[in-house]
Amino acid sequence: MAMNSKSSIGVAGSCGLALLLAACATTSPESESALEQARAAVQRLEAQPMASQTAGKALQDARDALGNAEAAERAKRPPEEVIHLSYLARRDADIGEAVIAEQASRTAMAQAQAQRERVLLDAREREAALARQQAAQSQQQAALSQQNAQLSAQQAQEAQQQARDAQQQLEALQAKQTDRGMILTLGNVLFDTNEDTLKPGADEIVSRLSQFLQQHPEVKVRIEGHTDSTGTDSYNESLSQRRSDAVAMALERRGIPQSQLQSVGRGKSAPVASNDTSAGRQQNRRVEIIFSDTQGQFVSGL
């Protein structure tokens, strides 16, 4: 009986130790912590919007490893096995998140590159549009310059023709080319001696002169009255001025504006012949019509 009591005590002790070890294996804080971390990691991965599309394999591997860890826990497997399987689940979840992050980075880089290419394309299109606009403006300017050149050439030709026509008409009036320009000299046909009233015979020449000035409004005339040396200087200057004014007023009555006319009395200061003879004094008693060019300019500022 004594030996049986000892054997019972030994068996009971062995059974208690085994139960104690089993209880320790199912309540390890390390395995529980590892399993919770694995669950949290898998849940984070599952919460990612693109987890299934981007990291499907890693997600499935993490779920499988977590399921294995949870099965090992339920089967009361050793804590080390639960911890290892939980580590595998957490590692696969981390791999999945890394794949998603890498894909997001690639997507962001691709979007940035696409945006950069769009910006560059827009810039090139703007540059091309600006170049086309500048080319069109250059063509318009070239065409305008060509038109202006043609117009200038045409105007120059017209001015030359106008000058030739004026020259021919002045020659028909018997005007002469001098160093002071074209001059028409009118002698005794205009005035009686010591008179400043135009004679009836002057009407034809004044009419022809007015017709010329009407046809060429760009031409101006300087009307100079001249006398011989008979009489005082003041008398001759006054007489010559009245005579030049008489011609100017006769032209005004025929429609010639004052802006086209200048009237000057020069007295006996510019004789063309000797005053010692009757013939010379007759030549000095005259009215000279000096014509400007077609730009209204007189030779030497006259």
- Asked whether residue 105 falls in the same domain as residue 194, the answer is no
Q: Is 100 exposed, middle or buried (0-12, 13-18, 19+ CB in 10 A)?
A: buried
- Asked whether residue 175 falls in the same domain as residue 259, the answer is yes
- Asked whether residue 113 falls in the same domain as residue 210, the answer is no
Stretch 170-177: mean pLDDT: 82
Q: Tell me the per-residue pLDDT of 76-90, one tens digit each, with 9 for 90 and over.
A: 999 999 999 999 999
User: Would 6 be classed as within a structural domain?
Assistant: no
Q: Where a domain ends, among 150, 170, 191?
A: 150
- Given this model, what pLDDT does residue 25 score? 45
- Asked whether residue 138 falls in the same domain as residue 250, the answer is no
Does the pLDDT at position 230 exceed 60? Answer: yes
Confidence of residue 169 (pLDDT cuts 50, 70, 90): confident
Q: Tell me the per-residue pLDDT of 151-160, one tens digit each, with 9 for 90 and over.
A: 888 877 877 7
Its pTM stands at 0.51
Per the structure, the complete domain to which residue 224 belongs is given by 162-301
Measured distance CA(219)–CA(222) in Å, rounded: 10
| Structural domain count of the chain | 2
- Asked whether residue 140 falls in the same domain as residue 186, the answer is no
- Given this model, what pLDDT does residue 244 score? 95
CATH number at residue 277: 3.30.1330.60
176: three-class secondary structure by DSSP = strand
Confidence of residue 10 (pLDDT cuts 50, 70, 90): very low
- Cβ-contact 219, 291 below 8 angstroms: yes
- Given this model, what pLDDT does residue 149 score? 87
- Given this model, what pLDDT does residue 302 score? 54
